[in-house]
Structure 1
Amino acid sequence: MNYQFARRLDAAPESFLDRLFAVSRDPEIISFAGGLPMTSLIDVAGIRDAAAAVFADEGEAALQYTTTDGYLPLREYIAGRYRSRLGLPATAGEIRITNGSQQCLDLIAKIFVDPSTVVGMEQPGYLGAIEAFSYYQPRIKTVQVTEESPDMKAFSTLCREEKPVFFYGIPNFQNPSGTAYSDAARRTCAEICQETETIFYEDDAFGELAFDGRPRMPVKKYAPECGVMSGSFSKTVSPGMRIGWVYAPGPVIERFDAVRQAADLHPNALSQAVMHRYLTTHDYDGHLRQVRRVYETNCRQMCDLLDDLLTDITHTTPEGGMFMLATMPEGKDSMALFHACLAEKVAVLPGVPFYAEGGGHTTFRLNFSTATEEEIRVGMTRLARAYRNSNR
């Protein structure tokens, strides 16, 4: 059979995500490659109790078809948290629930991107976004990310000359680098977006994971009509429940509803009801404080071990989130390191998939949220041995 697949499939880069999940499932491998939250921090008992209460109180409704926009009480909860934490004038009408924030990437691209449309991104940038956008055949143009901002001159030039339909960025503890924009950079991004009518697509999957617990103001705070934000409970409550959302101006929401209905009719009704019940009957902020403490401890330990064991490698020093980026000397190769690490039963993620316009051969991403302190100690020792073996 000669299958006639759509030509747009050829535009997508080779996916590394399947390999990541396969590595994460191998019990013999200590994985620093994935993006999983720590399993032991998932409040199984609390979620079980919330599910039981939903079945008792609203089981039939939670198991029936529902509306495209999502469970209203959950949307009201999310909007209220935006108002209380960040001072954003969010309403439930501007919130739509999605199947994880990953679905936002696909649906936002679907409503904005035609073949050859320019899309702006950070370099390095989230590989899942690169893959999601690529199916719509844009011209991806990147801006280098520094320790506290995108290259602002390059960002301004991109918005003014290339006129991207949107710029996708992660201002809070970026994936893969773990860096965060300064407040001055956020304000400048907002000014440029307003002047050029560029949408800033702000992926805020890690905003609640600041080690100090201090909210960072989003770009949308300073440019409301230019701001589209997405968020997720995958990193803070449970990735398996697949609850994310988009927060956007009315005209964007109207188009979002149309493509969402065509895609899957509506988000998972049961998961939404359980999530809302959990959030409103348990100490979510207390849970977040515990998660932050563990991740900060893990991050500091990993940074110290990198400095002690791999003295010719530089790395970012995150103040939140789940990732850091390491850079080897010129001439080293992260794919060679990846294979050497697997031989030592440890996994890291090569940097290449994060570079939409090429590069990243000397970089690799490390995740510090999944492993225990003992696993980090053992895994970093294995990584150091693999690094020596891969560069002989």
Structure 2
Amino acid sequence: PGVINFAGGLPAPELFPIDQIRECVDAVLTNSGPASLQYSLTQGILPLREYIAEHVSKKGLPVTAENITITTGSQQGLDLVGRAFLEPGDYVLTELPTYLGALQAFNFYQVIYCPVTMDDHGIRVDQAEEKIKQFKPKFIYLVPNFQNPSGITMSLERRQKVIDLAFKYHIPIVDDNPYGELRFSGKAMPSLRGIGGDAVIGLGTFSKLISPGLRVGWVVAPIACSKIIERVKQATDLHSATFPQYVIYEFLKRGYLEPHIEKIKVAYAHRLGVMESAMREYFPKNVTWPHPEGGLFLWLQLPEHVSAMKMLNESIDAGVAFVPGQPFHPDGSGANTMRLNFANATPEGIVEGIKRLSVVLKKYC
């Protein structure tokens, strides 16, 4: 209570489209009641998969519903990929830093990480190639759009080079794209799957666009790969919950998604601007960050000697929470980094939270 929360990856609950979801729930119960409450296909309900296939096809390589598996959020997609393809002792190449939830998913399969540093354009391809030659990783895991946690978007040139690596060394890419629709500025990029085709397994989700509580995501993959993922999912949970799939499809069918995305983009872009403006005004000058063109996160670099983890309890006592950056680094580095979520606080709360955090930062920086 009283703590302004910049931690977690939560979207703003006051922006959830509750009235529209209520309409969709009523329509589903009226028109598809028994079917929406029954067991379903492991791959997911066909109309939703067809819609996603059409959406994915617009971004690049054409796919069909057979390429799509509906998952319980994209987090389950990470686990299914791990179950399907990883064995103890396998290497996985990741960005440094990388998404903590992916590390948690893959850790279960006792893998070893090959982390590769990033610059303002994304993963360093020269370093990635050296790691590939040395360790022969099972796959490359990337978050190319508004990366979690760094907020960096991979440039078009870098995307092409990463795809070239995948083909040269016959290594698949896992493209995790929960934030790709949340672009506020800059030029839209083709998806990695749009460039690399069947060299890429894509993960997507409605969690950041509609509601995370509905838990509807998807995996798009080559047919042979989709069949393996389908078998693994069947053994895991038979299928993702039927009712939320029907509700999401009704939401899409009614044309609610695009206007809603535009609405949340305006709100999030404003909150990002408010947070960066407050940081420039109140933070010590030796705290830096890359400017994200979208997504949910700002990634702070503190002076080398500063540990964000050591600041956390004092910050919470001061009434503001953040996520220390070290857990996003599979090599244990990154003690002097932290992640802030600019989406899940009001503009007034953002300014007050940044003021509170600045008081703590000035003691350490």
Question: Which residue in the other structure is 1:367 paired with?
Answer: 341
- Equivalents in 1 of 2:131, 2:194: separation in Å? 22
Out of 213, 226, 237, which is 1:253 matched to?
226
One-letter identity of the residue aligned with 1:287: H
Question: Which residue in the other structure is 1:35 paired with?
Answer: 9
Q: Which range moves more in the overlay, 112-121 or 215-224?
A: 215-224
* 1:46-73 superposed Cα distances (whole Å, 9 cap, x missing partner): 0010000000001111101111000110
Superposed, which structure 2 residues align to 1:12-31 within 5 Å?
27-31=1-5
One-letter identity of the residue aligned with 2:107: S
- Equivalents in 1 of 2:361, 2:201: separation in Å? 41
Question: Which residue in the other structure is 1:8 paired with?
Answer: none
- Equivalents in 1 of 2:144, 2:195: separation in Å? 13
One-letter identity of the residue aligned with 2:349: E
SS of the counterpart of 1:229?
strand
Does the 8 Å CA contact 2:60/2:191 hold for their aligned counterparts? no
Q: Which runs of 4+ in 1 moved over 6 A?
A: none
Does the 8 Å CA contact 1:50/1:278 hold for their aligned counterparts? yes
Question: Which residue in the other structure is 1:125 paired with?
Answer: 98
* 1:339-361 superposed Cα distances (whole Å, 9 cap, x missing partner): 11100111010001100011110
* 1:176-227 superposed Cα distances (whole Å, 9 cap, x missing partner): 0001000000001001101111111000101100113853211222221210
One-letter identity of the residue aligned with 1:276: Y
One-letter identity of the residue aligned with 2:325: G
- Equivalents in 1 of 2:185, 2:96: separation in Å? 26
- Equivalents in 2 of 1:370, 1:235: separation in Å? 11
- Equivalents in 2 of 1:98, 1:129: separation in Å? 15
**Aligned-residue offset at 1:112:** 0.9
Question: Which residue in the other structure is 2:29 paired with?
Answer: 55
Tell me whether 1:287 sits opposite 2:272 in the alignment: no
Out of 79, 90, 93, which is 1:106 matched to?
79
Tell me whether 1:241 sits opposite 2:214 in the alignment: yes
- Equivalents in 2 of 1:183, 1:135: separation in Å? 33
Question: How big is the alpha-carbon RMSD for the aligned residues of Structure 1 and Structure 2?
Answer: 1.2
Identical amino acids, percent of aligned pairs: 36
Does the 8 Å CA contact 2:60/2:195 hold for their aligned counterparts? no
- Equivalents in 1 of 2:333, 2:46: separation in Å? 44
**Aligned-residue offset at 1:330:** 1.5
- Equivalents in 2 of 1:113, 1:353: separation in Å? 22
One-letter identity of the residue aligned with 2:189: R
One-letter identity of the residue aligned with 1:350: P
SS of the counterpart of 1:156?
helix
- Equivalents in 2 of 1:152, 1:218: separation in Å? 17
Tell me whether 1:71 sits opposite 2:40 in the alignment: no
One-letter identity of the residue aligned with 1:378: E
Please, which runs of 5 or more residues in structure 2 have no aligned partner? none
Question: Which residue in the other structure is 2:109 paired with?
Answer: 136
Question: Which residue in the other structure is 2:279 paired with?
Answer: 306
Does the 8 Å CA contact 1:159/1:193 hold for their aligned counterparts? no
Question: Which residue in the other structure is 1:15 paired with?
Answer: none
- Equivalents in 2 of 1:33, 1:145: separation in Å? 23
TM-score (norm 1): 0.91
SS of the counterpart of 1:75?
helix
One-letter identity of the residue aligned with 1:99: T
Tell me whether 1:277 sits opposite 2:250 in the alignment: yes
Tell me whether 1:347 sits opposite 2:310 in the alignment: no
Question: Which residue in the other structure is 1:316 paired with?
Answer: 290
SS of the counterpart of 2:174?
strand
Out of 213, 219, 232, which is 2:192 matched to?
219
Tell me whether 1:164 sits opposite 2:170 in the alignment: no
* 1:73-105 superposed Cα distances (whole Å, 9 cap, x missing partner): 011111111123x13302111011000000011
One-letter identity of the residue aligned with 1:60: P
Tell me whether 1:97 sits opposite 2:70 in the alignment: yes
- Equivalents in 1 of 2:214, 2:345: separation in Å? 21
Structure 1's 333 and 213: CA in aligned 2 closer, same or farther, altered over 3 A?
closer
**Aligned-residue offset at 1:320:** 0.5
